[in-house]
Amino acid sequence: MIDISHLAKKFAVESPKKLSEQEKKDPRLKGRFFHSVKDVSFRCEKGEVVGLLGPNGAGKTTTLRILSTALKPEQGEVHINGINVLKDPVLARKKIGFLSSSTGLYGRLSGRENIAYFGQLHGLSKARIDEKIAEMADLLDMHSFLDRRAENFSSGMKQKVSIARAVIHDPELVILDEPTTGLDIMATATVMSFIERLKAQGTPVIFSTHHLDEVQALCDRVVVINLGETVFNGTTAEFADLSGGHMHQSFLHTLNGTKEEHSNVVNL
């Protein structure tokens, strides 16, 4: 189980005068700091899939990068099975499998070599690495391109290898940042099946997406972040019930509620 409590992260703004009008109007801009994440809290139990939703710039990726230990928050805690992993980044990386939306593969290495390299970083034996690669090649349908150079891969091929690389060490938690973006229907179906398998194994999964059909198909819980704060945290059924079963309308409902609250604060 992962428990995320009151995360906050701000960034210094080097040239406030160069910000766009939209950026200047963002209520998270305070002086020379932009508070990307202000207060994010949620949890993911064993065997649950949590869908992380929010508009572009809401703070989703910053939140996920904090969980991966790529960023250090100003405040907040992250506990995995009772252990505060933010206090020990090395331990966190052993427990977490993280797929970033921006981390590329080593183009001159084959798919197999990319995966094996990360297995070596995690201290796995060659025999265990070979075993895991064979297993994931079956699950992610990678046999046809596994030994080709990554620089020649399609988007779907790259994403499959990146997912395999992220879970080579059998992590206790898997975090996927928009894992199906840019994929065709077949590749998307393969990735979704892989997430379902992680869930069946009892591995908690947190993934961000803009595709509400994926949320409806896979997720046990939904978390919506807007303007750096958690504005919804509940079951998928509770989320759908916000608008009589229409997921898109439920999403807009949570965002409009945030805007109305901010407007009231400004008017006061």
CATH number of 2-267: 3.40.50.300
Using left for φ > 0, alpha for ψ between -120 and 50, and beta otherwise, residue 54 falls in left
What confidence tier does 258 reach under pLDDT thresholds 50, 70, 90? Answer: low
Q: What separation, in Å, do the N-terminal and C-terminal C-alpha atoms of the chain show?
A: 40
Separation CA 29–CA 66 (nearest Å):
20
Q: Residue 114 has what pLDDT?
A: 97
Provide φ and ψ at 68, rounded to 5°. -80, -5
Q: Which of 192, 183, 189 is nearest to 156 (CA)?
A: 183
What confidence tier does 261 reach under pLDDT thresholds 50, 70, 90? Answer: very low
Q: Residue 22 has what pLDDT?
A: 81
Domain boundaries of the chain, sorted by first residue: 2-267
Query: Does the pTM of the predicted model rise above 0.85?
Result: yes
Each residue's pLDDT tens digit, 152-163: 999 899 999 999
Separation CA 58–CA 226 (nearest Å):
5
**Which amino acid is located at 175 in the chain?**
I
Neighbouring CB atoms inside 10 A of 247's CB total 18
Q: Residue 39 has what pLDDT?
A: 97
Sign for the CA dihedral angle at 95, 176, 101, 17 comes to: negative
Q: Which of 145, 223, 134 is nearest to 187 (CA)?
A: 145
Q: Residue 28 has what pLDDT?
A: 94
Separation CA 182–CA 231 (nearest Å):
27
CA distances (Å), 230 to each of 62, 70, 157, 226, 257, in order? Answer: 13, 21, 33, 7, 12
Structure tokens at 17: 């005068």
Each residue's pLDDT tens digit, 76-96: 999 988 888 888 888 888 899
Separation CA 175–CA 160 (nearest Å):
14
Angle between helices 111-121 and 155-166 (to 10 degrees): 20
Each residue's pLDDT tens digit, 17-35: 778 888 888 999 998 899 9
User: DSSP letter string over 91-151?
Assistant: HHHHHEEEE-SSPPP-TTSBHHHHHHHHHHHTT--HHHHHHHHHHHHHHTT-TTTTTSBGG
